[in-house]
Structure 1
Amino acid sequence: MPFPADRATSLAIFCKVVDNYGDIGICWRLARQLQLEHGVRVTLWVDDLVSFKRICPEIDVELDAQKAAGVTVRHWRDQEGVFAASDVADIVIEFFACDIPPGYIAAMAQRQPQPAWLNLEGLTAEEWVEGCHKLTSPRHGMIKHFFFPGFTGKTGGLLREAGLEERRRQFQADPVAMQAFLAQFGVTAQEMAATKVSLFCYPHAPVAELLASWQGGGEPMLCLVPEGVAFDAVGSFIGADAVAGAVRTLDALTVRVLPFVPQDDYDRLLWACDFNFVRGEDSFVRAQWAGKPFIWHIYPQDENLHHVKLRAFLQRYALDADGVIDSLAGASEYWNGASAAGQGWLGLWPALRADMPRMTARAGAWQRQMLDNGDLAGNLLSFARLPR
């Protein structure tokens, strides 16, 4: 479609929150980047402002419309009203096949020229994605395109804002900045010398077993976990409710409960830790840009389809010039319930710890490989602006 030359491109993103923070996390990063780096006028429709506020504190959950970081945020309440063609953006993105309000779709069909309509799909390393990326689907007299993020040049790439890599390098090269950042959460100078791990996972992860392995392992460990994550297991370790600010040291392990932080601070948390446990899609991608070893807790699906996706990623990531990084592959499968392990975390963590230098080197090589694919926001915008 031709875009007007006399005004900025407009774009609407529709987001329904399924995974509490992953969906809105991705859409918010995308919206901010398109507005800040590309001058696009972005409207973000989101149905759950409470979850949104956890990662963007400036959001007012009582407002139907507001501005945040230059982005127009609309509370999506399954509006069934009538929309005018003038209400429709130049580019319309539905995230992960959410159903756009029928009235908006009707207005899209009446708009001239019709908008570029994209279904932004979930991230997977499976090979079939390359064949489905940019495929068309006729809908309501229009053509919708499927746009897949991914790990190769035949996909849309990963979300990555300009300057991210330089900010990471500067932060990780400055021990004083890292200590000052963690100090705001109560981390002491003595705790800075421990192996620092961030923990973000779904409730069914074997967290109690992991904490027990660290507690009795002999090596000083500091586990930093956001409030509400693994609430029962963390509370059991601490001996009280796992609220922000709670902390306890038992033997070799200190667990600190952190408040939920804005996205930029979560990046710094990943950068400051030696190892990261992440979940879903948004923190999974940010862990890759952090350049540190990590384990991914994938969103569970029926019939264990998520195990297929996990293994597809591990086949790409847990592999270097010397072959498969067995400790990473084994621990990742065990963490996700995809395989058994004789000693559980008592055996898995020491193996991971021994392979930390190898995994760190692999993380750096993977980053360089992903950089070659461009960034998702830029790739998506370039495709949407192509003449139809």
Structure 2
Amino acid sequence: MSEQVQSLKSLTLFCKVVDNYGDIGICWRLARQLEREHHINVHLWVDDLHSFQRICPDVQLNTDTQNVHGVTVHHWLDQNGTFASEDVSDIVIEFFACDIPPAYIQAMAQRQPRAVWLNLEGLSAEAWVEGCHTLPSPHGSLPLTKYFFFPGFNSKTGGLLIESELEQQRQQFVSDPATIAEFLSDLGLSENEINALKISVFCYPHAPATDLFEAWKNNATPITCLVPEGVATEAVQAFTGQPAAAGSVTTIGALTIRVLPFVPQPDYDKLLWACDLNFVRGEDSFVRAQWAGKPFVWHIYPQDENLHHVKLNAFLQCYGVNTDKLAAMMLAWNGVTPLPIQWETVWHALAADMPRMADLALQWQQQLIANGDMTSNLLKFAHTVHQQSVNNEQK
């Protein structure tokens, strides 16, 4: 462990699951990286163990407190509970402004030295994020200050979650065709499916997936579409005419749709690496698609008054120049483009641009790596806040 974070040895992370797998996906990656790479004693409070278990099968559903891969996991049942100051960690993180138990906050106010309290915010490329990153927010009645910490796409933000060994693992995987084929074969793919253009689809239920399936079935070359069980269920069933259960496979025209079982996080990364194009959603899979170094289409989490359209356009502006074909697909996929949409035209334009999109994806990946990883950046900031607090108490 680096000298600058030795004084911060414990961390509590509160997570309320709103976006099914995205919220817990991010928090679990963060918790695991803190424990494995920085040797932090992590307590993860999460309210939805069912969603957690889908991405980490080792999670037990009927256990209030359990150790999962070195992380102490607490089932966050309600806002009640009794906490003492010794229950409070050195760092306390509320993910995406979730309300942590009032008794825990009271215990934070009794703790000496004060815990570093962070609100880990959602990811956005909007310019205002840079000005709000690390801003303090004093508590209204207690001697506590919370700080906003924003992930982001440049050095003026906290960067993105990435494990130290991930890029090496990715390069080893993509450089070995036999390993890729074995991984896909283990998921049930036939040789023909493996040799086709492979597209993973992870989207929200309102995505126009059926329209895209119709375009893909008329493609000049075979397409294998890989959809996790429980995702785009109605669209898959409407197109294939059969239940969208894990293991089901249907070929219509050039398109083969295979429904995959939900896989643990490490295997999802491999799926992204193995595919030629990835449709992803929310934040967690969106970030992993960027680390995959492959072309991707983002389905952003919907917000009232179409505020998500602003976020989508902000990302497209920072992602890179000459992305009009990719932008056209993302805007159509997210319902920004006025109807009717000529899906075959949008698809063929993107397909023809895929080699250049692949190069751009790798360039973008290197740009992100230069910003440092979010977990290390977060710990460095927490140390700075902690040191300032210690200095103030000594005056």
The TM-score normalised by the length of structure 2 is: 0.95
Give 1:342 deviation, angstroms: 5.5
Give 1:268 deviation, angstroms: 0.2
Q: Distance in 1 between matches of 2:110 and 2:125?
A: 37
Asked if 1 retains the 8 angstrom alpha-carbon contact of 2:170 and 2:292, the reply is: yes
Match of 2:366 in 1: 368
Match of 1:339 in 2: 337
Q: Distance in 1 between matches of 2:58 and 2:164?
A: 23
Q: Distance in 2 between matches of 1:373 and 1:53?
A: 31
Asked if 2 retains the 8 angstrom alpha-carbon contact of 1:274 and 1:292, the reply is: yes
Match of 1:246 in 2: 248
2:174 corresponds, among 159, 172, 175, to 172
- Counterpart of 2:227, as a letter, is V
Match of 2:133 in 1: 133
Q: In the TM superposition, what are the counterparts of 1:1-388 in structure 2 within 5 Å?
A: 9-139=9-139, 140-317=142-319, 319-320=320-321, 324-340=322-338, 343-386=341-384, 387-388=387-388
1:91-141, CA deviations, whole angstroms, 9 ceiling, x for partnerless residues? 000000000000000000000011000000000000111100000000122
- Counterpart of 1:255, as a letter, is I
Asked if 1 retains the 8 angstrom alpha-carbon contact of 2:8 and 2:383, the reply is: no
Gaps of 5+ in 2: 389-395
The TM-score normalised by the length of structure 1 is: 0.96
Q: Distance in 2 between matches of 1:25 and 1:336?
A: 22
Q: Distance in 2 between matches of 1:6 and 1:145?
A: 21
Give 1:235 deviation, angstroms: 1.2
Asked if 1 retains the 8 angstrom alpha-carbon contact of 2:201 and 2:278, the reply is: yes
Distance 1:4 1:62, change over 3 A: farther
Matched residue SS, 1:209: helix
1:310-361, CA deviations, whole angstroms, 9 ceiling, x for partnerless residues? 00000011x33xxx22111111011001113665321111000110011111
Residues matched between the structures, number: 382
Give 1:82 deviation, angstroms: 1.8
Q: Distance in 2 between matches of 1:4 and 1:218?
A: 57
Give 1:4 deviation, angstroms: 11
1:9-61, CA deviations, whole angstroms, 9 ceiling, x for partnerless residues? 00000000000000000000000000000000000000000000000000001
Distance 1:302 1:257, change over 3 A: same
Q: Distance in 1 between matches of 2:61 and 2:85?
A: 28
Matched residue SS, 2:81: coil
Q: Distance in 2 between matches of 1:194 and 1:81?
A: 54
Q: Distance in 2 between matches of 1:79 and 1:87?
A: 16
Q: Distance in 1 between matches of 2:7 and 2:307?
A: 44
Query: What is the RMSD computed on CA atoms of the aligned residues?
Result: 1.4
- Counterpart of 1:288, as a letter, is Q
Q: Greater CA deviation, 127-136 or 75-84?
A: 75-84
- Counterpart of 2:218, as a letter, is G
Q: Distance in 1 between matches of 2:275 and 2:213?
A: 16
Matched residue SS, 1:288: helix
Gaps of 5+ in 1: none
Q: 4+ residue runs of structure 1 moved beyond 2 angstroms? A: 3-8, 340-344
